[in-house]
Amino acid sequence: MVYEATATAPVNIACIKYWGKRDTKLILPTNSSLSVTLDQDHLRSTTTSRADESFEKGDRLWLNGKEEVVKPDGRLGVCIKELRNWRSVEEEKDSSLPKLSQWPLRIASYNNFPTAAGLASSASGLAALVASLARLYQLPQNASQLSLIARQGSGSACRSLFGGFVAWREGEKSDGSDSLAEEIEPQSHWPEMHAIICVVSDAKKGTSSTSGMQRTVETSTLLKERLKIVPERMKLISKAIKDKNFEEFAKITMKDSNSFHSVCLDTFPPIFYLNDVSKSIISVIEELNKSNGKIIAAYTFDAGPNAVIYSLKENIPKVLGAINKFFPTSEESKDPFKLTPVDLPENFDYKVVREGGWEKGSVKTLIHTRVGDGPRTLGKEDSLLNEKGEPK
């Protein structure tokens, strides 16, 4: 009997950004946040976990084929420990259960997109780890409860345990038991919500989110102003999603991205995640909206220069037209929907972009995706581990 489980988990991109911790050990945030889960058919982390009595002592884990050290007090170690403790409670309740909690683990994880490109790989990776272990240990699959554990691996990971539109409630308790993720609306509520990811650079980023946000908490006075406005934004964007009011959703998303990057600039020493290409994408989207007479696209940026542009499916051809016009890509774009870009409106003011546009490859490639579902369980045939419990 092989005790093993394989799960996949999605990437999520926040519209209201998490930036700042009030407790760095438990990973409790200074504000609530809200994200859209992206489709796992296009971007995902897959994780296989196996428990075996005969494995040499100690847990081992591989990320994209490379072995990582699992420190017991590190973030991965804490997630594994929490799930193991939960399993042992279940084993105590039911003595017929095999004692998986006492056996060493072998875990392999694989991302189908570049790690640390600012594409939230830690979120999908940690969520897939938690989902696969929860399955292996046959824990009750309550996503909000699991989110409490994923949160301790990486804050934004707690939101990847749900599909659709997801809020991470900051909570009030000092033990973190109410700092969890919950679904605002499922994927099926607004499936027309699509996203274009502009991969500006897939190099490893300069300042990690973890150290960057800590420096912001310690040095930025503007963060205090930001924290006053977020609760209202959470309410407004939740309503916009419920009402499927794209213009309102887009306005709040863009404002919150701008607010997050402002507090980064207000950090001392300052943090720059946006580069000139990122800023030029902002100008193009602003002008695209203006020349269309309404907001049809929303940009947002995480801790890196890549843009994520949210737009309804019907308007994606316009977004693709605008991006292709000024940012010729160097690698073939991924568009599973095969939509044909349309030309810019006649009144589009070309002066918003530097003359001649950007050189080829300033935006490397585009990934077209949409709102997606939460973690999925896969079968034995999808296992990432070989017989010996090493990556295939």
Residues that bind ligand DP6 (CB under 6 A): 14, 17-19, 27, 33, 122, 154-156, 209-210, 302-303
Q: φ, ψ for residue 37 (rounded to 5)?
A: -85, 130
Q: How far apart are CA 240 and CA 230, in angstroms?
A: 15
Nearest CA-CA partner of 176 in 160, 152, 208: 152
Q: How far is the CB of 29 from ligand DP6 (least distance, A)?
A: 8
Q: Which is nearer to ligand DP6, 26 or 339 (CB)?
A: 26
Q: Which residues of 331-358 are buried (b: 16+ CB within 10 A; e: fewer)?
A: eebbbeeebebeebeeebeeebbeeeeb
Residue number, nearest CB to ligand DP6: 155
Q: Which is nearer to ligand DP6, 217 or 352 (CB)?
A: 217
Q: How far is the CB of 266 from ligand DP6 (least distance, A)?
A: 15
Nearest CA-CA partner of 110 in 250, 9, 253, 259: 9
Q: How far is the CB of 159 from ligand DP6 (least distance, A)?
A: 7
Q: Which is nearer to ligand DP6, 231 or 336 (CB)?
A: 231
Q: How far is the CB of 55 from ligand DP6 (least distance, A)?
A: 29
Q: What share of the chain is helix, strand, coil (3-state, %, to 5)?
A: 35, 20, 40
Q: Which is nearer to ligand DP6, 222 or 352 (CB)?
A: 222
Q: Which is nearer to ligand DP6, 15 or 100 (CB)?
A: 15
Q: How far is the CB of 344 from ligand DP6 (least distance, A)?
A: 30
Q: How far is the CB of 274 from ligand DP6 (least distance, A)?
A: 12
Q: Which is nearer to ligand DP6, 301 or 348 (CB)?
A: 301
How far is the CA of 227 from the CAs of 31, 94, 159, 263, 311, in angstroms? Answer: 7, 46, 20, 11, 27
Q: What radius of gyration, in Å, describes the C-alpha atoms of the chain?
A: 21
Residue 138 is encoded by which pair of tokens? 């046959």
Contact (CB, 8 A) for 195 and 369: yes
